[in-house]
Structure 1
Amino acid sequence: MTLPPKPWPTGHCEDIEPLIRRILAPNGSPFTFTGTQTYLIGTQEELVVLDPGPDHADHVDALIAAIGQARVVAVVCTHTHRDHSPAAKLLSSHFDAPIIGCAALTIQSDEPRADAPFDQDYAPDRVLEDGDSITGDGWTLTAVSTPGHTSNHLCYALEESGALFTGDHVMGWSTSVVAPPDGNMADYLASLDKLYQRDDRIYYPAHGPAITKPRQLVRGMMGHRRQRERQILRLLAEEPRVLPEMVPLMYKGLKEQLYPAAGQSVTAHLLDLERRGEVIRSGDLWQTTS
């Protein structure tokens, strides 16, 4: 999806539907589309702040102005990438509200660490498990565990409206990057299937437009990942290859600045195929087992 023309409506509080408002952070990039979308969920009297976004003064000021005198029941995060959770600490302090939602991220791996993009200062007062809820006057927000993009990723269902807030698991402009060692392709596909089994009316992602045909999109996303998997197996069946050789062959026309992100998802596929015994590696060289 191409970027819409500027100016983007950063700092503007948009009424999306009853119980839902949205404010765009000024952090647009090739990796975040027009920026991170923070959602105010609830009423003018009582609400939660979902994905408070980056620690950017203009964005935090816009959130504080939009919240006004409402009681903030909680500041809620889908996951702890630095474009999603750093402002939680500031809003929690300003409104004397707890930080509730995903767990803090702890990577247990011997692989090179990939947590530089994560918010190391995130400290939740309460961690939600799958099916746990936060309630207010006339609204209920329920956590849906969706690991894959990150191991701590949660989506949230607004029970009264049929809306699902999908963070980075399902986005309105691009497929999600799955970056090992924390990102896991098998978990990501299982989480997509979990959402496919649900009957949510609409998805509100952290980046990009709302998704009005969610099951159709999720089905296409699962098919896209299986297509990438088959593409990898075809390339390796021709000859053993190293990752930097595979990315430009798989992503025709992709800007080189995005090769590292694409390479992370290819690595996630390779690790999943290795776990299933379909590929093996010798140093940096990958090949099929058949």
Structure 2
Amino acid sequence: MVKQITEDIYSIGVPLSGNPLKELNSYWIRGTQRDLLIDTGFRCRECEDALREGLKELGSGSSRLDIITTHLHSDHTGLCQRIAGKDSKIYISKTDFTIMKDHLFGDGSHLRHQRYIREGFPKDLLEYADSINPASEMAIESPEGNFCYIGDQDKIEIGDHILTAVSTPGHTPGHMMFWMEQPGIMFTGDHILFDISPNITAWNGVEDSLGNYLDSLRAAGTYPVTLALPGHRKEGDYHQRLRDLTAHHHRRLDEVIQILSQTPGMNAYDITGLMRWKIRARNWDDFPPVQKFFAVGECLAHLDHLVKQGKVICDKGNHIWTYELSGQAPH
């Protein structure tokens, strides 16, 4: 469904069937010589049909389209090569492109799985979760194409508008928001969502994903945003949401400390099972395997942050890593 936001900005709803996110908000900006599309959806027939139909309704198409991807996840990048024309530019941060290439066509996924097994995730369950997670099958087809790196504060001119890239690492290490100073619009990608919390997970080679995310929330608060356009679901109060998300993660950190104060020496998989989650499952054993994978990643991001702060100690002396409070953590 196409929805007009301003004279030159429209959203195209791209369905994500079977996914808890339900739909991607793809944004189209009218230019003079070329138009701009922000995020594309999964590489699958349903998403492609919806996106092409929306572009057709707007009088646009591949031949005059450039594409921005806010971050590497396949619900945002999957269709970018199919939708792009031969002269299209596909903008992405160098950090996220490198990780995406490594995970899809290198050994990034293997290295991540090695850590999850050390964190107590059962190997058979991890392999099963990976086999039924459609994200990699609906990702980009190859690392080749008209990809263009974009960095913090780089600018893209589109018609009468200027988009400024805003580096917001956290949800992914190279996540970008895009700021349109006139009329005060921020395209937030998945950095800020309003009725669900963005997943913050542990990444290979990143010491403190959650710390990066909290820093990015603080930096995002310096922009005088009048309208925030998220990657999923509905819009909301931008500055209030920044405060809410910050408070949410501090509550999560306190929750992990409380769990470890009661039962020291636990692995991350078991800690995750004692955390509170908004999901339709009776208990941790009933969690769908893919949701267990995401939940453990979220737990790891909080544990990594507490380790970085010196409040938690990770014992890597055995095959399965365990955690306990340090003397600096409140009991």
**What's the TM-score once normalised by structure 1's chain length?**
0.85
Shift of 1:86: 1.7
Shift of 1:62: 1.7
SS in 2 for 1:265: helix
Paired with 2:296 and 2:161, the residues of 1 have a C-alpha distance of 41
For residues 79-104 of structure 1, what are the alpha-carbon distances to aligned partners after superposition, in whole Å with 9 as ceiling and x for unaligned? 111111121111212x7311123231
- Residue ranges of structure 2 left out of the alignment (5+ in a row): 117-129, 281-286
SS in 2 for 1:232: helix
Q: How does 1:1-290 map to 2 (within 5 A)?
A: 12-32=1-21, 34-43=22-31, 46-56=34-44, 57-69=48-60, 72=64, 74-93=66-85, 96-103=87-94, 104-106=97-99, 111-112=112-113, 117=135, 119=139, 121-122=142-143, 123=145, 125-182=147-204, 184-211=209-236, 213-240=237-264, 241-251=266-276, 254-255=279-280, 256-257=287-288, 258-282=291-315, 283-290=320-327
Matching residue's letter, 2:37: V
**Compared with structure 1, are the counterparts of its residues 124 and 281 closer, same or farther at alpha carbon in structure 2 (3 Å cutoff)?**
farther
Shift of 1:18: 2.4
- Cα root mean square deviation, aligned: 2.6
**Compared with structure 1, are the counterparts of its residues 30 and 55 closer, same or farther at alpha carbon in structure 2 (3 Å cutoff)?**
closer
Larger RCO, structures 1/2 (Cα 8 Å, 6+ apart): 2
Paired with 1:28 and 1:105, the residues of 2 have a C-alpha distance of 28
SS in 1 for 2:74: coil
**What's the TM-score once normalised by structure 2's chain length?**
0.75
Shift of 1:196: 1.6
Paired with 2:150 and 2:30, the residues of 1 have a C-alpha distance of 19
Paired with 1:40 and 1:69, the residues of 2 have a C-alpha distance of 9
Q: How many residues are paired up?
A: 276
**Once the two structures are aligned, what percentage of the paired residues are identical?**
22
**Compared with structure 1, are the counterparts of its residues 112 and 60 closer, same or farther at alpha carbon in structure 2 (3 Å cutoff)?**
same
Matching residue's letter, 2:256: I
**Compared with structure 1, are the counterparts of its residues 281 and 69 closer, same or farther at alpha carbon in structure 2 (3 Å cutoff)?**
closer
For residues 95-154 of structure 1, what are the alpha-carbon distances to aligned partners after superposition, in whole Å with 9 as ceiling and x for unaligned? 731112323133697553799846453555321111111112211111000011111110
Shift of 1:187: 0.8
Matching residue's letter, 1:190: D
For residues 197-234 of structure 1, what are the alpha-carbon distances to aligned partners after superposition, in whole Å with 9 as ceiling and x for unaligned? 222112111111012x1111111100110111111111
SS in 1 for 2:98: coil
Shift of 1:44: 7.7
For residues 255-274 of structure 1, what are the alpha-carbon distances to aligned partners after superposition, in whole Å with 9 as ceiling and x for unaligned? 32333322211111101111
CA contact (8 A) 2:194 2:241 kept: no
CA contact (8 A) 1:149 1:176 kept: yes
User: 2:283 — aligned with what?
Assistant: none
Paired with 1:29 and 1:247, the residues of 2 have a C-alpha distance of 24
CA contact (8 A) 1:79 1:154 kept: yes
- Residue ranges of structure 1 left out of the alignment (5+ in a row): 1-11
SS in 1 for 2:76: coil
